[in-house]
Structure 1
Amino acid sequence: MAVLVTGGAGYIGSHAVASLKERGEEIVVVDNLEQGHRAAVTGGKLYVGDLRDKDFLETVFKENSIDAVIHFAANSLVGESMQNPGKYYHNNVYGTLCLLEKMIEHNVLKIVFSSTAATYGEPENVPIDEYDRTLPTNAYGETKLAMEKMMKWFDVAHGLKFVSLRYFNAAGAHESGLIGEDHNPESHLIPIVLQAALGQRPHISVFGEDYDTEDGTCIRDYIHVSDLADAHVLAVERLRTGADSSIYNLGNGQGFSVKQVIDIARLVTEREIKAVIEPRRSGDPAVLVAASNRARSELGWNPKRNKLEDIIRSAWNWHVANPQGYKGKTQE
């Protein structure tokens, strides 16, 4: 039986594929290659197509014996979601509906969902707990929450069991050096800092240094992408034991400020990285850190790569080896 990984040519999805491959799983990957890269898929059978194409999905399910799905396929840029919410509802929500309907048709009743801690919005508590309110402040987080709720009702109606994993910032690269982070446009802090170290950007912008934190800059939770991938695989294993549907936060246990990230990047790269202080961005909370006690106790998730220095070093090694991203650069 195979695990279907949607969005498996993307950053986190490709690392989940690698984690499944290491465990000897049969893998089927679906990706439209809008943001993913063919070169990032290191195992399994790749189908290039869109979840909203029901005939395409039918082919995937007919040609493979699938017993579980890991769902990464979604648009994920907060700013873009506020400018074009329709794109996010159509791709994220409708795409998920098409997937769930096809799963029910083929009696595939286990799905692990790559969600986001953006479902919480402005945090009531730090660290954020799974029982805290969900009140997204952007269309991206709202669509992810809608996807979670859809899965809940498919569970009620059809017995589809899901595990939703909520987290903030994936970072780093696979220890093999074969896969890493290559987005266009890039919106994540660590690769942007490393691009500045490589001379691909004149500086790194720091949006505000007057927050109520130790150094005045925002604090965020960073998790090594391979640890995130392992959590998704553990969630599949839990569902295979007959576990009920659940939601888990994934967090590193501590947060790091923007200035800390830049300072550690300077240490790792041994490069000058110019930082320019700019005005705050609207809607940026001072501190976003997720608690992961439930994931540790119930999934048996134990992140192995907790040190920010090690996370950044793994990313730096990949960016040095792949300064323009994946070889050839075309997603196809």
Structure 2
Amino acid sequence: MTDTFLLDHRCKSYPLTAAPCRPADLGRRGWNVLADDLAYPLAVIRTSALAHNLAWMQDFANRKGVALAPHGKTTMSPELFGQQLQAGAWGLTFATVYQVAVGVEAGARRIIIANQVVSDADLDGLQALLQRHTDLRVWFLVDSLAQLRCIEDWATRRGATQRFDTLLEMGIPGQRTGCRTLEEAVALAQAMAQSPAVQLGGIECYEGGVARCDSEHDAREVTALVRRVTDVARHCDAQGLFAAPEVLLTAGGSAVFDLVVPLLRTQGLSRPVLGVLRSGCYITHDHGNYQRFWALVEQREGLDASLRPALEVWTAVQSVPEPGL
């Protein structure tokens, strides 16, 4: 967020009677939620819980020997992006090129787009970001020959000479994007390795679609996905299809992320593996939705406690028309 950006009454809960101010100056106003200084409803973040969650997740990644690129779409807050990077995050993850631009402004220089990029506008935008920031690395997902042809057609029409960094996505039958079979994935990887428009940097998957908050079921399904992705990585490595000196393997939502750690620590390839965990909801911790999943994570990891809910919504009781209502 730039120094010229001003908060004013157009921002939710900002007092109508207060003069505009910069975000950096907001604390000097001395406003207190409990003193009715701000309009309700009002969402707040507990800084103590936020600091705990930042440290906890980074420590988890460090102990497991993996890198952390938390998904930024969870908050879309440049200030929080900065805190995640300062806490030790390897990079950030986003879903769109627009979100990438926000992350770059916040200081991120390693970014995974956990999504397919197909439109001319997005490819144009990504190319512009990479040309503007020569120290920026961005990987996005490819999961079909049709998508690859779209990218190559764009490159031909634009006269582009720089190859995009990409990750092959492995999917799950019945779920969203991603290659379904080993044969399909290897054929796509071969085409990507020969493409003038992209270079294959690694393999990506998302395990959250199979999570049911049943530890036995989740472990079985995620382990099966991990094995499929590992098989693809080994086949691609054996055929020399990876372009980079290290293979990027990435996974990790916020429900069963502990179960994908074995994938991120894959060994036995001809080059080093960089395992990147993409969990993002940890920073504020959606206590209502993820509490059940996290209880199972704590059981599997032997933890007494882990994340703390950092978000609160305050409001005023407007009426009690009946007792107990």
TM-score by length of 2: 0.34
| Larger Rg over CA atoms | 2
Query: TM-score, normalized by length of structure 1?
Result: 0.33
